Amino acid sequence: MLARMSSSLKEQVQSPKKVYLVDVGLKEVFGFGQSRDTGRRLENTVVIELMRRKARNPRLDVFFWKDAGKREVDCIVTESGHPVDLIQVCANLSDIKIKEREFRALVTASNELKCSELKVVTMDEEGEETVEKKKIKIIPAWKWLIGLET
């Protein structure tokens, strides 16, 4: 479960949480929906890995971010309370509208949270793009999961 990133503890506690499955196979066994949404499964996998990393480093914490304009960043990783990684998860960036939406949310959150480490974890795309002078790393999930980030 991820809480919403906020400077107000009260808002963090009162805001709706994002819930993830410990095992995405449970969705199949218990029938939590019939679609095979690769993007949601990938996001779930990234969050599980971030929770594993958090268990190894108690200074880490993980949140999601959402602004008044409904832009959302899937994962904000903080270390000792300071944002160190902003991560979007998207199965692929082939649709220009999806790409623009994901990048716009990262740039907006980066400006608000004063964090310059921006990443998009995808199924197999790789590269780097600059949006409003902000570098966004695009990393295939397999590389991100084993720590071979570009």
pLDDT in tens, 7-34: 777 776 777 778 777 776 666 666 655 5
State pTM to two decimals: 0.87
- Cα–Cα separations (whole angstroms), residue 29 to 1, 32, 33, 37: 21, 8, 10, 15
pLDDT tens digits for range 37-74: 888 889 999 999 999 999 999 999 999 999 988 999 99
Q: Where are the domains of the chain?
A: 3-145
Query: Which residues are CB-contacts of 11 (< 8 A; sequence separation ≥ 6)?
Result: 4
Res. 35: pLDDT tops 70: no
Q: Which residues pair with 72 in a beta bridge?
A: 66
Q: Which of 2, 5, 1, 4 is nearest to 113 (CA)?
A: 5
pLDDT at 25: 67
Res. 79: pLDDT tops 80: yes
Centre a 10 Å sphere on the Cβ of residue 22 and count the other Cβ atoms it contains: 9
Question: Tokens standing for 9?
Answer: 């503890």
* Topology of the domain covering 3-145: Trna Endonuclease; Chain: A, domain 1 (3.40.1350)
